[in-house]
Amino acid sequence: MKIQEVNPVAQDLLHAVAGYEGGFEGAYNIRQDSGCAGRRSTEHIRIESKPGGKPGLEIHVAPGTRDEKVFIPAVVTQSNLNDVAYNDFYIGAGARVTIVAGCGVHTTDSGESRHDGIHRFYLASGSEVLYEEKHLGTGGGGGLRRINPVTECFLEEDAFLTMETSQLGGVSYSDRKTTANLKARAKLIVRERLLTGGHEEARTFFSVVLEGEDSGCDLVSRSVAKGSSRQSFISRIVGEARCHGHSACDAILADEAVVTAAPQLDALSPDAALIHEAAIGKIAGEQILKLRTLGLSYEEAEAKIVAGFLK
């Protein structure tokens, strides 16, 4: 299926969250307002609708596939729409791919715009995935813009999953839930970046079970909370064997914003090495002062610091 009519709002959102420039290289599926605006499979990556009429996709990556990309962005460009998609990824043994999955929601009036994406990753032995996901809210009229991603990961022996997720702003409410189970020598790396302002609220929940010998995870969340926004970071790492787990929450506060962090580490083996770090505070005054001596205004200096922190 070739790319059909993509409306102007969708084009802007797709560009921001997935780098859309009128099309995509490789395999792709564009979801616009609960429908499919275009799809293409390749020799090694097959994209199919879920059987039984359930909304969402099945993405199959053939064993041994190397350095290919698949794009599965979703956009909601109107108010009073609740979009739900269930996407399952089956990554064959020894494959190495990049998955780009951004989501954008747009409001036009007082109605709510919402997308709930439920993604399940099944990584076979020795496979490697880079998963990139950006979230953005735009529009006006007072309508809420909600994005609630749920990610479930199942990593077989020697599999490697890197998740780079960003919330770029404008999302009224987000509830981000990620769970993972890792077999022997499997690795999970998460780099989360969040920006909230106004009365926005963002919740992050991680739960990782390190089942196999020498499995490991590194979960890092960096965030900026401005205005009267609220953020919460909850993480749980369970070590059931010889393993290494690390989680960190690093947040900058401004105005009347509030950030909370609640780590939990469960070592069920004497050989489990688990660590958590957290740092929450405002922008240091000396950083602002240094940039102002270079000719920047206070607002410009603050913007530079925030951009660097979230990079």
Sign of CA dihedral 35, 123, 20, 231: positive
CA 133, 164, 60, 12: dihedral to nearest 10 degrees?
20
How crowded is the C-beta side of 78, counted as CA atoms within 13 Å?
A: 7
Q: How many CA atoms lie within 13 A of 171 on its CB side?
A: 33
| Model pLDDT for residues 6-31, shown as the tens digit of each residue | 899 999 999 999 999 988 989 999 99
**Dist CA 164 CA 156 (whole Å):** 20
Q: Are 111 and 77 in contact (CB under 8 A)?
A: no
The Cα–Cα gap between 8 and 158 comes to: 43
Please count the other Cβ atoms lying within 10 Å of the Cβ belonging to residue 212. Answer: 21
Give the torsion sign (CA, 58, 62, 63, 64): negative
The upper half-sphere exposure of residue 2, i.e. CA atoms within 13 Å in the direction of its Cβ, equals 3
What whole-number distance in Å separates Cα of residue 110 and Cα of residue 78? Answer: 11
Q: What is d(CA 13, CA 5) in angstroms, rounded to the nearest whole number?
A: 14
Q: Report residue 291's pLDDT band, with 50, 70 and 90 as the boundaries.
A: low
Per DSSP bridges, beta strands 187-196 and 160-167 are parallel
d(CA 227, CA 253): 9
Q: Quick one: which of 67, 105, 108, 101 has its CA closest to 87?
A: 101
CA distance 303 to 195: 12
Q: What is the pLDDT of residues 228-251, one digit of tens each?
A: 999 999 999 999 999 999 999 999
Output 90 or 263, whichever has higher pLDDT.
90
Structural domain spans, the chain? 8-285
What is the arithmetic mean of pLDDT over 266-295? 83
**Confidence band, pLDDT 50/70/90 cuts, at residue 270:** very high
DSSP helix/strand/coil, 128:
strand
The Cα 12–Cα 214 span in angstroms is 43
Angle at 217 between CA 215 and CA 221, to 5 degrees: 175
Distance CA 139, CA 81 (A): 14
Choose between 310 and 226: higher pLDDT: 226
Interval 162-180: pLDDT, tens: 999 999 999 999 999 999 9
Q: Which two tokens mark 64?
A: 């041994």
Q: State the pTM of this model.
A: 0.93
